[in-house]
Amino acid sequence: MSQSPFSTLALNADLLKNLESLGYETMTPIQAESLPHVLASKDVIAQGKTGSGKTAAFGLGLLEKLNVKRFRIQSLILCPTRELADQVGKEMRRLARTIHNIKVLTLCGGVPFGPQIGSLEHGAHIIVGTPGRIEDHLRKGTLNLDDLQVLVLDEADRMLEMGFQDSIDAIIDQAPKQRQTLLFSATFPEQINNIARRIMLDPVMVKAEAKHDNSVIAQRFYKVDNNEDRMIALRLLLQQYQPESSVVFCNTKREVQEVAEELSNRGFSAIALHGDLEQKDRDQALIRFSNKSACILVATDVAARGLDIDNLSAVFNYHIAHDQEVHVHRIGRTGRAGSKGLAFSFYSGRDTHRIALLEDYLDRIIEAESLPSYDVLDKSPMQSSMITLRIEGGKKQKIRPGDIVGALTGQDGIKGEQVGKIQVSDNWAYVAVQRDTIKTAFRKLSEGKLKGRKFRVMVVRG
């Protein structure tokens, strides 16, 4: 399937000729899987990352449908960041270069409105933009979606992560009900399924990458004699594999606290999560972990249950779970979306019975592996890639994610791609930024204004 030429598709001759001149000979897997449905005007949910050829997977569909003589906005592509929107805009222009008089317009935040309004007055066929700015244009009445035929949500997981849900909802409210909706995402947290259910009609699911299954998880077991050995084993493996985000499962709250403290004392970026924490600390712990400002979450099963944390680089079973299903559930949080996961479990002589049950359940022999050499402990522990900033203002002060991105990325600011997850609550907001941009980010947010006002900003540390 992945070797099919584009000529097997019902595409117009100009588009085919252009693909040939671009050197696109055969379809990438995501193109081969999704284009037939896209061209059949179906709603499509597709799993694909940047670099997979996803722009052409939706782009050729909307170009094929487009009537260039009708100078109205017929397609809207929503992207999480300005950089991605620019990239998608460029690729769309390349794909469309044999269609005369076609106008692709990019509309992103962080730049003045005036020129964008001017361009909109001249008209366009395809808009590529970020949700906050598109919503603003709709509110001002400078953008009209009455003739929209195709709506694309590109990197939908990232848009939701950045807090664009409300903006996306507001945009969809103004789009015609009769339309084609295409959703591309690298991962599929529950939020994506929810939005898909609300805005799509009988969508076709396309997965060009292998879905998570146990074979993409490397499960390793280590025999330890006591808790002291356990901690050393944990440190050795953390140092050896340096997972960007991992969960250490413990069987009791007390153990969670002890393990998290010990790891933090040794310089690891670890936080504790258990039911005895105050709500605010719990929220903050989850925010920091999910936005990559902490690498290790030490948790009980109960505290981790139902939380939207998957896609972990590694899972540690500090003690073997009491139940085999719990074990499988724990390790299932690693290795999703086609990436290989790591699951490390520690057991002692007292766990013989549990190990036998697990061997039965997993249908495999469990053998103890050897731990990495102690040399790895000489390195300093890995730091988180991001740092969290807390803003003392939120929805009630009319702050939206787009305002925060705008304030961070304006003149002398940081780049859109250096901004991570944004969460806005009623009276506060959190934003993650790349570690090496923290000074600039802090300055931009604390010296600059959001919605014309200054807000107190602080760096959240462990």
> What residue ranges bind ligand AMP (CB under 6 A)?
24, 27-28, 31, 50-56, 91
Pairwise CA distance, residues 115 & 230, whole Å = 61
Are 156 and 188 in contact by the 8 Å Cβ rule? The answer is no
Q: Which is nearer to ligand AMP, 23 or 114 (CB)?
A: 23
Q: Which is nearer to ligand AMP, 55 or 81 (CB)?
A: 55
Give least dist CB 79 to ligand AMP, A. 11
Q: Which residues are CB-neighbours of 350 under 8 A, at least 6 positions away?
A: none
Q: Which is nearer to ligand AMP, 83 or 301 (CB)?
A: 83
Give least dist CB 50 to ligand AMP, A. 5
Pairwise CA distance, residues 30 & 205, whole Å = 11
* Helix (H/G/I), strand (E/B), else coil: 292: coil
Give least dist CB 98 to ligand AMP, A. 15
Residue with tokens 């295409």: 182
Q: Which is nearer to ligand AMP, 81 or 423 (CB)?
A: 81
Nearest Cα neighbor of 394 from 404, 385, 384, 386 is 404
Q: Which is nearer to ligand AMP, 2 or 352 (CB)?
A: 2
Pairwise CA distance, residues 141 & 139, whole Å = 5
Q: Which is nearer to ligand AMP, 34 or 55 (CB)?
A: 55
Residue 109 CA to chain centroid, in angstroms? Answer: 20
Q: At what angle do helices 113-122 and 131-140 cross, to 10 degrees?
A: 70
Give least dist CB 67 to ligand AMP, A. 24
Give least dist CB 91 to ligand AMP, A. 6
Q: Which is nearer to ligand AMP, 3 or 215 (CB)?
A: 3
Q: Which is nearer to ligand AMP, 24 or 430 (CB)?
A: 24
Give least dist CB 242 to ligand AMP, A. 27
Q: Strand 150-153 relative to strand 204-207: parallel, antiparallel, unpaired?
A: unpaired
Nearest Cα neighbor of 298 from 261, 323, 336 is 261
Give least dist CB 102 to ligand AMP, A. 18
Are 102 and 96 in contact by the 8 Å Cβ rule? The answer is yes
- CA 446, 448, 452 angle in degrees (round to 5)? 120
Residue with tokens 């487009």: 66
Q: Which is nearer to ligand AMP, 208 or 331 (CB)?
A: 208
Give least dist CB 150 to ligand AMP, A. 16
Give least dist CB 56 to ligand AMP, A. 4
Give least dist CB 311 to ligand AMP, A. 19
Q: Sheet harboring 126-129: ordered strands across?
A: 104-107, 126-129, 75-78, 150-153, 180-185, 44-47, 204-207
Give least dist CB 29 to ligand AMP, A. 10
- Three-state secondary structure along 181-199? EEEEECCCCHHHHHHHHHH
Nearest Cα neighbor of 85 from 110, 121, 48 is 110
Task: Determine how many CB atoms are found less than 10 A away from the CB of residue 101.
Answer: 8
DSSP states along 396-428: GGT--HHHHHHHHHSTT---GGGEEEEEE-SS-
What is the CB-side half-sphere exposure of residue 89 using CA atoms within 13 A?
A: 21
Give least dist CB 95 to ligand AMP, A. 9
Q: Which is nearer to ligand AMP, 24 or 164 (CB)?
A: 24
Pairwise CA distance, residues 120 & 295, whole Å = 44
Q: Which is nearer to ligand AMP, 56 or 66 (CB)?
A: 56
